[in-house]
Amino acid sequence: MTSVKQLFDLEGQVSIITGGATGIGFQMAMGLAEAGSNIVICSRKLEACESAAHELERLGVKALGLSCDVTKPEEVEAMKLSVMKHFGRMDVLMNNAGRAWVAAPEDTPLDRWQQVLDLNITAAFLCAQVVGREFIRQRRGKIINIASIAGLVGRNPKAYSSIAYCTSKGALVNFTRDLAVKWAQHNIQVNCICPGFFATPLNQKLFERNRENLEAEVPLHRTGGPDDLKGAAVLLASKASDFMTGVIMPVDGGTVAW
């Protein structure tokens, strides 16, 4: 029988987090590192990735920052090759990179709609496909998709209005379920975290402008804090979730419960 500490121990593993240099991505990267995982941070901004990797190494793990536009298949493939060359293994893929375009549905430009879908759902497919081939070869792996409660319910436009974001995150939710079913035969667990609103550098102005409306939607009467996603991330990256796949996990202070 395995102890609880052993189930949650990530020592020696390698976790890839897309868009993990800032915001909730970095929070979850830190949680995985605190549980012992080595970390790969990738996004288009190499300097930010390297800075985040340097900070994570202070926790006693190895970390690598890579430049990668996850909407481009050739860059995703190059990222995988770099990880394998550097670490010789990969255990966890967290599809966290994302963006939004805030506007009323009738005012959303088609090019902005497409940009949001390209990053929020198509890039997740590309990363899962490329990294998943390695997971299939080794017959193990964890994929954690970061969607949103905006992919589970319609959102109050007074708090947040981005139909492209909501649509893409809804697609990511069902992508999770279907990929989980398809790849269960390969011992790959595919799960999804749906955060509620977390204030980050990217949405700070929106938070300040709409704080009252945003907090009014949350039964716990606050938005997400700096440690609130760590537990869910470690659970889904660890052996503790070996019998969990296709799970959609809100971390939202109870928002979708009412």
- Number of other CB atoms surrounding residue 12 within 10 Å: 13
The answer to whether the predicted template modeling score (pTM) of the entire model surpasses 0.85 is: yes
160 among known catalytic residues = no
Catalytic residue among 26, 160, 165, 175: 165
Question: Residue 26 has what pLDDT?
Answer: 97
Domains of the chain: 4-249 (3.40.50.720)
Out of 40-49, 64-73, 150-159, 223-232, pick the least confident: 150-159
Reported as a single tens digit per residue, the pLDDT across 17-36 is 999 999 999 999 999 999 99
Q: pLDDT at residue 194 above 90?
A: yes
Reported as a single tens digit per residue, the pLDDT across 197-207 is 998 877 888 78
In contact, 147 and 192? CB cutoff 8 Å: yes
d(C-alpha 72, C-alpha 226), whole Å: 31
Strand partners, 67: 43
Degrees to nearest 5, angle at CA 58 with 52 and 59: 100
Q: Identify the DSSP state of 103.
A: B
Question: Residue 167 has what pLDDT?
Answer: 97
Burial class (CB in 10 A: 0-12, 13-18, 19+), 55: middle
Reported as a single tens digit per residue, the pLDDT across 234-251 is 999 999 999 999 999 999
User: How are strands ordered across the β-sheet holding 63-67?
Assistant: 63-67, 38-43, 14-18, 92-95, 141-146, 188-195, 248-251
Q: pLDDT at residue 160 above 80?
A: no
